[in-house]
Amino acid sequence: MLPRLVSGRRGLTVAALGSSLTVSWASSYYIPGQPTLRLSEAFDK
């Protein structure tokens, strides 16, 4: 059974999980696009 969090720690836990989810999504979505853009510009020349 999962332990219950104190209400003060619950907000901290939700913020930490939300932040890590946002960073992981952004790194998988935006970061691969940056080199791709530069490579496509290099091949257009």
Whether the predicted pLDDT of 45 surpasses 70: no
Residue 13 near residue 21, CB atoms below 8 Å = no
Whether the predicted pLDDT of 18 surpasses 90: yes
Secondary structure of residue 27 in the 3-state scheme = helix
For residue 26, being part of any structural domain is answered with yes
For residues 29 and 22, what is the distance between their CA atoms, to the nearest angstrom? Answer: 10
For residue 45, being part of any structural domain is answered with no
**What predicted TM-score, i.e. pTM, was given to this entire model?**
0.51
Whether the predicted pLDDT of 20 surpasses 90: yes
Domain span at residue 24 reads 7-40
Our count of domains for the chain comes to: 1
For residue 2, being part of any structural domain is answered with no
For residue 16, being part of any structural domain is answered with yes
For residue 21, being part of any structural domain is answered with yes
For residue 12, being part of any structural domain is answered with yes
